Structure 1
Amino acid sequence: MEKEPLNWTICQECLGRGKKSRRISKKTRLLYQIALDEFEKTLGKGTAPLPPKGNLYSCPDCSGSGLLATANPPEANEEYPHIAIIGGGIGGMALAVACLHRGIPFTLYERDKDFNARSQGYGLTLQQASKAIQGLGIFSLKEGVISTRHLVHTPEGKVIAEWGTRKWIQSDIKTSSKRTNVHIARQSLRLALLEQLGGNNKIQWGHQLLDFKEHDDEGIDLSFQVDGKIKKAKADLVVGADGIRSSVRRQLIGENATSLRYLGCIVILGICPLSALQHLNNALLDSATIFQTANGNERIYIMPYSSGSVMWQLSFPMSEEEAKLLSNKGPGALKEEACRRTQWHAPIPQILSSTDENLISGYPVYDRELLKPEVLEKSGPVTLIGDAAHPMSPFKGQGANQALLDALTLARIIFKGCRPLSDWRKAGIRKNALMEFESEMLQRSAVKVQDSAEAAQFLHSEIVLHESDAPRRWFKK
């Protein structure tokens, strides 16, 4: 098979949006004009009719991705604003890739010394973003695993819910799903984004942000600590993609404005290779099944991490002080606590006991109160994406999905609003791009933050034990 191209540029037919608008019919334009004339006769009383918009459809030239293959990556166009992206996680790398495709100049700063500075981390489930990653030039994920079955059990092993394509096929129900959930390790997705970006030398590693300050005339000065020394840099726009404890957010709006909010539970994570479970003959370990077990207090969720391993996530209510104490005791204590609480049906005890302590982590679960657009409207040429903007609990699997959507949306809006010959330097990046982006981003993510916070409650209550072949989110209060 031919190697998939790594260089992409935007499709000129849809200008990188992946969608086009159908022409508005003559009848629709006429009806709008009649309604507008009637409104003007009332001298502005009532509500003005909204201009009609053509229905969107997938661009045929790029098959809806917004991208076309190219021999070399586009050259950066200095007439666009230069973006300083703070944070080389999923959101930061995705924004850098989306800017690269559009010729928007950027510098990506990451405080870690290199790509492998942190542990393997956790697994992700790409839901809405499984389509969005195509807009980042990633059309296949070599390490991705697709699940086709989802089960919910009682601790004794009784199945109280089942869904997924295998369930639909077996029950002969005519059901189709346009979306496919792809499970992938966080580092595997980061590596795919890094390959799109062009490798490690495209990131300024070991740069810890100290502060930033906007000039009265134009631009932003940034200060970093690098190898014990202070390093200065300039940018037209700063984007904080630096996680739930974002330093950009703290300097922008302060920590007290929307402080961390404890959600009343702790999460313990582990990764177990299937090779350690070869002695088990269990259908739940087929690398295509997700299963969870709950008793109204503890809840464990187990999903494919790769074709050769599974990731488990155990959560249960605990006071914030106790959660911090347990987390600080390290992986040994976390594993012992997890095993003690889950002497349930097979293969749960075997998975937990076979998990190496080096692949176990745990932390108290936090989010933040939802940001309002007016909090950011005086922020000038600075904005936030991902967990820096809308951190949420892990129980709906939305953190990475929303970060990827944020990144692609922001790049597309900058490309449109700050194009050459526009007045972005005079009018300001906020007016030309950030206001539209933040409005869309905060509105889209608000329901995900809310649902994720509610899940922290109902997944550890009797509601989760309701017998029905439907995702547990359907039984929240």
Structure 2
Amino acid sequence: MKTTEQNKSCWTMCLDCQGLGKKKRRIRKQDRIRYQNALDAFNKSTHQEKPPKPLQTSYYPCTSCHGSGILPNTYQPIPDTDKYPHVAIIGAGIGGVALAVACLHRHIPFTLFERDSDFNARSQGYGLTLQQASKAMSGFGILELEAGMVSTRHVVHTTNGTVIGEWGFRKWMQSEPQTTGKKTNVHIPRQSLRLALLDQLSNQDTVQWGHKLVDYNITEGQKTELNFQVDDQIITTTADLVVGTDGIRSTVRELLIGEAHSPLRYLDCIVILGICPLEKLKHIESDLLDSATVFQTANGNERIYMMPFSSDSIMWQLSFPMSESDAKALSSRGSKALKIEACKRTLWHAPIPEIMEATHDSQISGYPVYDRKLLTTEELAQEHHVTLLGDAAHPMSPFKGQGANQALLDALSLARSITKSCMSSDTWKTESLRKQILTPFETEMLTRSASKVKDSAAAAQFLHSDIVLKKGDAPRGSTLKP
């Protein structure tokens, strides 16, 4: 991915807001007096009425960093090993690299471990859609994603091409000419986003490739001892804090909680993914291939979703119900079998059959869809020096496009929690990291992501039912919410 010179500049934590991107708004004196009077009256009463609601702290974006929590700097920040704990990040996917970047900007020492031998050792997925996290990218020093594609229209069809739903910026502009503040989604190849984040770590020898975590142990000195398999050797290192960012089949999660306690949960469907070059579709005239339209077509069982992947390609995601054993068997037969199955199930309106046929076998993959039950803070509190984020903590189906978004928000949240706790005190060295840093972070993370996990699991059901065929200019399933 090509990045701008602005993206390549160095960044450091904004001291004005201590890297939080926001500042606490003072509660007005008259509000404090009013609340205290109400509380005094309640305490003197018979307590038959409800007590007054405590005053809520509100925040406003930091004016110094415009809410990003970081400021441009002339050089890379130097890790402060005295003030902050050393963080071992297990897994260099999007969540892990994002955490490394957030730590770097805040002088938090870290080492990033990845089992793959290098960046291109295996596929890191297809495309993703930045939704809430699109705004958060400035918090990682990324002001522009040149590989990102912005969609301005979303259309839903029946299999004969009848439009049953349409929304997006272009739709809004037709009915609301003066509206300019509507949100748009940014579609980007997963590897391009990952590379943009890795670029922030340039000249930093912090990514340890080819390190497969075997286990960890807490030493008497309250350090965490990590054992990695590197080639044919076992390499041991230590850290103050371990963060598992190693995906839905996380080794850290298994060591921390145990697979039997929180097994994979099959969501009764399979996903087949493909990327088709637009060059192969030049002979087709369709406004759905304008690199700014997302469209989906469904029949109540199969459902296909197509979005811009790059300026010269389109990505598709076909999903349908299937038993777990059949889904595993189909996936194991490889890309050619997956393509045959996909083509057979999508003899629908143009340009869907043409796209499917033009997609090369090598650009197709498929897998059964899983998630896991929601964790609690008590379950995560097995160790005082270990936590999880991203898919390792809250894996979800791909149908709401929230996995990467939540991982990015997790990374910022944890880095900010470390900063907030350690900036003014070094008691983390003698007291529990869990109480000061991990429990507040995990509480925020689990609360924020819980609805995303539930909605993503629900989408695995309703997107393959007649609900998806209900007419309406809104995302499918939105009418299910009260």
TM over 0.5: yes
Distance 1:97 1:444 in 2: 22
Instruction: Give the AA of the match of 2:314.
Output: V
CA contact (8 A) 1:265 1:364 kept: yes
Distance 2:45 2:257 in 1: 44
The TM-score, its normalising length taken from structure 2, stands at 0.95
Q: How does 1:169-180 map to 2 (within 5 A)?
A: 169-172=173-176, 175=179, 177-180=181-184
CA contact (8 A) 1:194 1:200 kept: no
Match of 2:61 in 1: 58
CA contact (8 A) 2:265 2:370 kept: yes
Instruction: Give the AA of the match of 1:219.
Output: K
Which of 34, 37, 40 is the matching residue for 2:37? 34
Instruction: Give the AA of the match of 1:160.
Output: I
Match of 1:474 in 2: 478
SS of the residue corresponding to residue 123 of structure 2 reads coil
CA contact (8 A) 1:463 1:475 kept: no
* 254-263 vs 171-180, greater mean Cα deviation: 171-180
Cα distance change of structure 1 residues 113 and 25 upon mapping to structure 2, 3 Å threshold = same
SS of the residue corresponding to residue 314 of structure 1 reads strand
Q: Does 1:267 align with 2:267?
A: no
Cα distance change of structure 1 residues 317 and 397 upon mapping to structure 2, 3 Å threshold = same
Structure 1 residue 215 displacement after superposition: 1.7
Match of 1:421 in 2: 425
Distance 1:8 1:125 in 2: 25
Distance 2:460 2:441 in 1: 28
CA contact (8 A) 2:253 2:392 kept: yes
- Post-superposition Cα deviations, 1:280-337, rounded to whole Å, max 9, x if no partner, equal 1111000000000000000000000011111000000000000000000000000000
Which of 303, 306, 311 is the matching residue for 1:307? 311
Structure 1 residue 177 displacement after superposition: 4.2
Distance 2:478 2:439 in 1: 33
SS of the residue corresponding to residue 115 of structure 1 reads coil
The TM-score, its normalising length taken from structure 1, stands at 0.96
Structure 1 residue 37 displacement after superposition: 3.1
Q: Does 1:231 align with 2:231?
A: no
Cα distance change of structure 1 residues 37 and 462 upon mapping to structure 2, 3 Å threshold = same
Cα distance change of structure 1 residues 45 and 437 upon mapping to structure 2, 3 Å threshold = farther
Q: How does 1:53-452 map to 2 (within 5 A)?
A: 53-78=56-81, 79-119=83-123, 121-172=125-176, 175=179, 177-198=181-202, 201-419=205-423, 421-452=425-456
Cα distance change of structure 1 residues 420 and 18 upon mapping to structure 2, 3 Å threshold = closer
SS of the residue corresponding to residue 270 of structure 2 reads strand
CA contact (8 A) 2:168 2:184 kept: no
Structure 1 residue 275 displacement after superposition: 0.9
Cα distance change of structure 1 residues 50 and 206 upon mapping to structure 2, 3 Å threshold = farther
Q: Which runs of 4+ in 1 moved over 6 A?
A: 42-48
Cα distance change of structure 1 residues 354 and 369 upon mapping to structure 2, 3 Å threshold = same
Distance 1:359 1:129 in 2: 27
CA contact (8 A) 2:16 2:64 kept: yes
Distance 2:258 2:338 in 1: 33
Which of 440, 443, 455 is the matching residue for 2:459? 455
Structure 1 residue 437 displacement after superposition: 0.5
Percent identity at matched positions? 62
Instruction: Give the AA of the match of 1:455.
Output: A
CA contact (8 A) 1:128 1:179 kept: no
- Post-superposition Cα deviations, 1:55-80, rounded to whole Å, max 9, x if no partner, equal 32221211111111001111101121
Aligned residues: 477
Cα distance change of structure 1 residues 32 and 5 upon mapping to structure 2, 3 Å threshold = farther
SS of the residue corresponding to residue 182 of structure 1 reads strand
CA contact (8 A) 1:253 1:375 kept: yes
Structure 1 residue 176 displacement after superposition: 5.2
Match of 1:16 in 2: 19
Distance 2:118 2:204 in 1: 8
Segments of 5+ residues of structure 1 without an aligned counterpart are none
Cα distance change of structure 1 residues 465 and 72 upon mapping to structure 2, 3 Å threshold = same
Cα distance change of structure 1 residues 475 and 10 upon mapping to structure 2, 3 Å threshold = same
Distance 1:416 1:39 in 2: 35
Structure 1 residue 179 displacement after superposition: 3.1
Distance 2:68 2:182 in 1: 16
Cα distance change of structure 1 residues 188 and 310 upon mapping to structure 2, 3 Å threshold = same
Distance 1:176 1:469 in 2: 19
Structure 1 residue 169 displacement after superposition: 1.3
CA contact (8 A) 1:220 1:234 kept: yes
Structure 1 residue 36 displacement after superposition: 3.8
SS of the residue corresponding to residue 76 of structure 1 reads coil
Structure 1 residue 368 displacement after superposition: 0.3
Distance 1:175 1:373 in 2: 42
CA contact (8 A) 1:32 1:52 kept: yes
Distance 2:6 2:438 in 1: 37
Instruction: Give the AA of the match of 2:463.
Output: L
- Post-superposition Cα deviations, 1:336-383, rounded to whole Å, max 9, x if no partner, equal 000000011111111111111111100000000110111112321100
Instruction: Give the AA of the match of 2:32.
Output: R
Distance 1:40 1:98 in 2: 46
- Post-superposition Cα deviations, 1:125-178, rounded to whole Å, max 9, x if no partner, equal 000000111111111101000000000001100100000010111234665545
Distance 2:321 2:240 in 1: 44
CA contact (8 A) 1:146 1:181 kept: yes
Distance 2:415 2:388 in 1: 13
Distance 1:354 1:429 in 2: 53
Distance 1:64 1:446 in 2: 25
